[in-house]
Amino acid sequence: MRVRAEALTDKHVGFFHPPKHTLGITLAAADIATTCVGWSSFGELQSTQLAHSGLVEGVGGNILRTFSSDVATEQKVLKLEEEEGNPILEDEIAKIRHVFNAAKQRFQKIPDTLREIPKTDPKGIYVNKDLRLDNIQVFGFDYDYTLAHYSANLQSLIYDLAKEYLVNELRYPDSCLEFKYDNSFPIRGLYYDMSKGCLMKLDFFGSIEPDACYFGRRKLSRPEINDLYGTRHIGRDQAQELVGLMDFFCFSEACLIADIVQHFVDAKLEFDPSYVYQDVNRAIQHVHRSGLAHRGILSDPEKYLVKNGQLLRFLRMLKENGKKLFLLTNSPYYFVDGGMRFMLEDSLGHQDCWRELFDVVIAKANKPEFYTSERPFRCYDVEKDTLAFSKVDAFLPNKIYYHGCLKAFLQITKWNGPEVIYFGDHLFSDLRGPSKAGWHTAAIIHELENEIQIQNEDSYRFEQAKFHIIRELLVKLHATVSNGETSEDYMSLLWELNEERQKACYTMKRMFNKSFGATFLTDTGQESAFAYHIHQYADVYTSKPENFLCHPPHAWLHVPYDIKIMPHHVKESDFQKSRLPPVQISVGYGKNLLKLLIRGYNVHAAVTTNGEKEIVKKIGGLERTENGRLTMFTVDVLDYHSILEALRLCCGLFCCLDSPDKYDGKMVDSEVRGTINVLEGCAQTQSIHKIVFTSSLTAAVWTQNICSKKDVDERCWSDPDFCTKFK
C-alpha cells in the first residue's frame, strides 16, 4: 500500500508533521478495508494508498464503516465534501446507489493494492491458547492422519470396502455396488440428522448453513429447511439427533450416507434415516477394525501413503533437545510398523530405527475409552504376535504395549499434565480426553493448507471484498426504511445488491467445495461448528506435526489479540478495524484527523506525556463525539508497555521522532531507546509486518515538485541539495 505525494496535503489521508518541541508518538490512524479500498461517505470509492514510510498493512474482512451519527460531525463532513467538489446527495437511497455504482466499476478487475496484502502461512502454527514450548517435556502422537500422511486414494478404498460390507453382510441392494466415491462432495465437520436424514453444515452457533443442507445428494431450499426445522437454529432437543462426522473416515462415510439416502429416495423405498447411519457407521468401523483397510494400504503403500523425511527431522530434533516421545494409536502394531518403515525408509538406518525415536509405543489403545477406562496394559510380542500375561508396571525401551488407560499411563510415566502435549486429528477421540486430563493438545488438520492457499488467492480476496462491500451497503439500505414503508427505488436497489451478494457467496463457496464450501467458514464468513470444536479442544492447530520445525523447542506461542475467530483466517477486523499507529499531530490536525475518520478509519491518537495540552484537549473532545472510532492513548516512548498498548490491533505505523528546540546531546540515548521501544512494540503485534524508518517525514517527501503524483515509499530519496537550500 502506498501514499501519493498529494496525500500529504489536505486532500486524502495525510501525514501530520510534528511540532519540534515534542518527542515521540502522537497519533495512530486506522481501518484498512477489505481490498485496501478507502470508502468515502458520499459515494466516492477511492484506492486507499498509504505510505510505506511507516505503514505496515494488515489483512482481512470488512470494508464499509458506519458513519458517526453526531450532527456536528455530519455537518463538518458535508462542508469538507463540498470543499473537495464531491456531489452532495440529499436522498439516502440515491447516496447508496451512487456508492454501489462506483463500487461496480471497481469490481471489473482486481486492484493492485489487494495483491500486496500479506499472505497467511499455509504451514503455520495457529494458537487458541498460549503455549510455552520450553515447558513441554513430553510429545505424544496419534498415528493415522497425524504421523501418517495419506493420499486421496484412501477415501475411495474405505468407501468401496464399506459398500461391499453393506451389500454382502447387511443385505443392501446389489445396485449399491455401482456407487462411486465423489471426492468433490463431502468435507470434514458435517452433521447427519438421524431423525430427518439430512446431511448439513452448521455454523459456530449451531445454525444450519442455508446453502449446505442436503437430503441425499439433493440440496434443500431455504423454505424446505424451514419446513423441516422451523428455524435454522438447531435446538438442544434437535441436537441430540445429530451425529458429527469429524475423523479421517468422515469423507467416505458422509458420501456413502448421502448416496444411500438418495438411492432409497430414487427407488421410492421407505427407510428410517437412523438405520442408514447405523449401518454405514458399522460398515466403516468394520473396515477399520477388521484390518481390511490396513491390509489394503500395506499391499500398495505407494498408492496410499506419502513419504515424509521432514517428519523424521522433527522427531529427531525433539529427541536431540531432550524431549520424551510417545505414540498412542488405535491401530494395530503391524500396520503402524509397516507405514512408518515405508514413510521413513529413505531416511532411516536399520529397519526398526523408528521405534528408537519413541520412549513409549502404545497400539490398539481404544481411544476415547482409553482416557476414562481402567483397562490394564499388555506387553505385545512382535515375533509371536501374542500378548504377555505379566503385569506392566514400567515401559521398557523398544517394547510395544497394547490397550491400557490414561490412569495407568500417568502412574507409570509420572508425566504431569501441563508438561505433555498430544497431537491428533480427531477432535473428540484424540483431543477431548487429553484436554480434560490437563494435557496440551495440537490438532492436525490436513485440509488447513489447501484452505489457506485458497484464502491467499487474489481471486478469493477480491470476491470477499465485494461480498463485504455489498453486505454493508445492504445494512445502510435497510436503515433507510421508515415505518415499514419501502419505495420502488429501494426495492430495485435491494434486488441488485442481493444478486451481487449471492454471486460473490457462490463464487467463494465453489473455490473450496461445490456442495458445502469451506471447512472452517460458512458462506457468509462466519466460523463453522467444526471451527468451534477446534476452539474447544485444541490449544494449537496446524496441517502437519513437522510444521513445528519452524519454531525452536523453547519458543512461546501466543494467542492473537482477536481470538473471537480462527487465528489463521483473514479477519474482518484486520481489514476493517486494523489501525495505523502513530502519526504526530500538529497545527491543522483537526480537519485531517476528521477526514481519516470520514474515510472509515479507526484512529489511535497516542499523545506523549509532554504533548501540548491544547492538542490533548482537542483530541479528547473529538474522541467523545466519534462513538469509539477514535481512542486516545498517553504514551511515554521510554515506556515500552505504553507503546505496545497503543499499537494493538494496528496494521501499520506512521512514526516520526523529532528533537525539541533545545536539543542536548544527552538526549541521544533517550531517542535511541524510544525508537527501539517503538520497533519492539511493532514486532510484538500480530498485525504489523513491515516498518520503514526515516529521520523525518519532510526528508521523505520534500522534493522540487511536491504536487507530484509519484508514489512515496522506501525507494524515494529527497534531493540533498534541495533540502540544504530550503532547510
Catalytic residues: 142, 144
Q: What single string gives the DSSP state of each residue in 367-391? A: TTGGGT--PPEEEEETTTTEE--S-
For residue 521, the cross-strand partners are: 527
245, 222 contact by CB (below 8 A): no
Pairing mode, strands 400-403 and 386-387: unpaired
Q: Is 715 in a helix, a strand, or coil?
A: coil
The backbone region for 60, taken as left when phi is positive above 0, alpha when psi lies in -120 to 50, beta otherwise, is: left
**DSSP classification of residue 396:** P
Contact 578, 651 (CB under 8 A): yes
- The residues that bridge with 379 in the sheet, in sequence order, are 401
- The whole-angstrom separation of Cα 383 and Cα 349 is 21
How many other C-beta atoms can be found within 10 angstroms of the C-beta atom of residue 665?
A: 6
Q: Are 30 and 602 in contact (CB under 8 A)?
A: yes
- The b-or-e profile of 412-428 (16+ CB within 10 A means b, else e) is bbebeeeebbbbbbbbb
**DSSP secondary structure letter of residue 8:** G
The SS3 call for residue 120 is: coil
Contact 377, 401 (CB under 8 A): yes
**Angle at CA of residue 142, ends 138 and 148, nearest 5°:** 120
Distances (CA, A) of 654 to 23, 573, 686: 14, 19, 17
CA distance 383 to 121: 45
- Edge to edge, what strands does the sheet with 208-215 contain? 218-219, 208-215, 198-202, 190-193, 242-245
b (16+ CB within 10 A) / e for 19-33:
beebbbbbbbbbbbb
Residue by residue, DSSP assigns 315-378 as HHHHHHTT-EEEEE-SS-HHHHHHHHHHHHTTT-SSGGGGGGG-SEEEES--TTGGGT--PPEE
Q: Return d(Cα 466, Cα 679) in angstroms, integer.
A: 34
* Phi and psi at residue 349, to the nearest 5°: -90, -110
Q: Residue 84 is placed in which grid cell?
A: 473537495
